[in-house]
């Protein structure tokens, strides 16, 4: 897979050099970053055969036959686990078709009006709610163009997956804009949760 990724990178560089006279620099940059992201996902969440077939159809000018992309997230898959971490709880949720209209950003009463809420208590409050798991977080990180612009400035937690970090503390991963790109972070349950620590739920 490393050799394959390097091969894709080499081909991409050749294409960039060839197209440089007819395409704007920012467009070339976007193309190159997307190509590298695809190469990194080959054999993981993307099928090499499917990618090559799609590229061939694009090459042949069959844009109209590609159809509208449907972003289905497998919430029944095992979640990504950072090095040294363990999964304490993972709520399976079946296939989830990404649509921002189907996502609710929830704030518990104990977090409102400047109040701070203990994370363990918040976890209990969310126990009966349709929280999204970390599979959605990682899908969005792999497809940042799907993330709404209005989410910038918010910290969005995916309580469907609770981890235990390398030091033994329970934590939940979150999505945030770091000023340059979308990234993930985490917060310990034993700490206070503020009014900007929103939980991502499936909208009812």
Single out the residue in 65, 89, 119 at which a domain terminates: 65
pLDDT in the model for residue 46: 62
- The domain total for the chain is 2
Q: Are residues 61 and 76 in the same domain?
A: no
Q: What is the pLDDT of residues 5-63, one digit of tens each?
A: 455 555 555 555 555 555 666 777 777 777 777 776 665 556 677 677 777 777 666 65
Q: Give me the pLDDT at residue 30, please.
A: 76
Q: Report long-range pairs for 114-120 (Cβ below 8 Å, ≥24 apart).
A: 114/195, 115/195, 116/192, 116/193, 116/194, 117/192, 117/193, 118/189, 118/190, 118/192, 118/193, 119/170, 119/172, 119/187, 119/188, 119/189, 119/190, 119/191, 119/192, 119/193, 120/170, 120/189, 120/190
182 and 117 both lie in a single domain: yes
Same domain, 41 and 83: no
User: 41, 65, 89 — which closes off a domain?
Assistant: 65
Residue 126's domain spans which residues? 72-202
95 vs 44, more confident: 95
Final residue belonging to a domain, choices 65, 87, 102: 65
């Amino acid at each position: 897979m490393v050799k394959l990724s390097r091969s894709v990178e080499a081909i991409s560089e050749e294409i960039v050099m060839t197209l440089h006279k007819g395409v704007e620099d920012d467009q070339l940059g976007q193309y190159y970053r997307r190509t590298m992201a695809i190469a990194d996902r080959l054999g993981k969440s993307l099928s090499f055969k499917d990618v090559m077939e799609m590229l061939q159809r694009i090459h042949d000018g069959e844009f109209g036959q590609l159809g509208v992309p449907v972003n289905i997230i497998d919430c029944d898959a095992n979640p990504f686990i950072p090095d040294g971490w363990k999964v304490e709880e993972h709520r399976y949720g079946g296939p989830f078709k990404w649509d921002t209209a189907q996502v609710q950003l929830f704030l518990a009463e104990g977090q409102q009006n400047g109040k701070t809420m203990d994370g363990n208590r918040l976890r209990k409050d969310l126990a009966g709610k349709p929280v999204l798991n970390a599979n959605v977080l990682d899908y969005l990180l792999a497809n940042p163009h799907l993330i709404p612009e209005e989410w910038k400035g918010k910290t969005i937690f995916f309580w469907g997956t609770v981890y235990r970090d390398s030091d033994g503390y329970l934590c939940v991963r979150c999505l945030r804009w770091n000023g340059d790109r979308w990234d993930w972070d985490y917060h310990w349950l034993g700490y206070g949760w503020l009014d900007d620590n929103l939980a991502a739920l499936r909208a009812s």
